[in-house]
Amino acid sequence: MPVRAWVRRFPREIAALPEVFRYARDFAAENAIEAGPKHDLDLVLEELFTNLVRHNVDGVHEIEVALQAEGGSIRLTLRDFDVTPFDPTQVPTPNLNGPLEEQAAGGRGIHLVRKLTRDFHYDHREGVSVITASLPLGRRRET
C-alpha cells in the first residue's frame, strides 16, 4: 500500500515559515522521524521555500509543499504556480575558500541543500516550477 503524502499550500511570504515548520514538525511526529533528519528537513524546506518567494517574483499563488516518508527517505516536493523558470539546481557551487569577506555572496543555502539531500531536481512546465529533493532518514550526510 502506498504511503500517504502530506500536501498543503502556504502563503507566498517569508512570514509563512513558522507555519511551514509546524507542518513539517507534525509530519515528522506522525512518521516517527528522528531529530537529525527532522533538522535537515527544516533546513532544506527553509532554503527552498525562501528561494521560491525571493526569486519567483512574478508569483502570486500559494506555494504547495508535499512531504512523504518512504523507503528510508523523506521526499519533499515544492510547486510554484504561474511563474517564470528559476532553477535552483543550476546555482553554481560557491567558493568557500579564503576569508569570508573575499567570498562572493549567495549560493551557500543551495550548497547546503545539495549536501543534505540524496537527490535534488527541478522541472518547469506550463508555468509551474517543481522542486523535488530526497533526504535520507538514516545517518546524516557529512557537510
In terms of Cβ atoms closer than 10 Å to its own Cβ (0-12, 13-18, 19+), residue 21 is: middle
Alpha helices in 12-138 (DSSP H): 17-30, 35-55, 108-116
Average model confidence (pLDDT) across the chain: 87
Order of all β-strands in the sheet with 119-125: 6-10, 63-70, 73-80, 128-136, 119-125
What homologous superfamily is domain 18-136 in, according to CATH? Histidine kinase-like ATPase, C-terminal domain (3.30.565.10)
Judge whether 21 and 97 are in contact, CB under 8 Å. Answer: no
pLDDT at 16 over 50: yes
Record the pTM. Answer: 0.86
Q: What is the pLDDT of residue 58?
A: 84
pLDDT in tens, 55-101: 888 889 999 999 999 888 999 999 999 999 989 998 877 666 666 56
Q: What is the mean pLDDT of residues 109-113?
A: 86
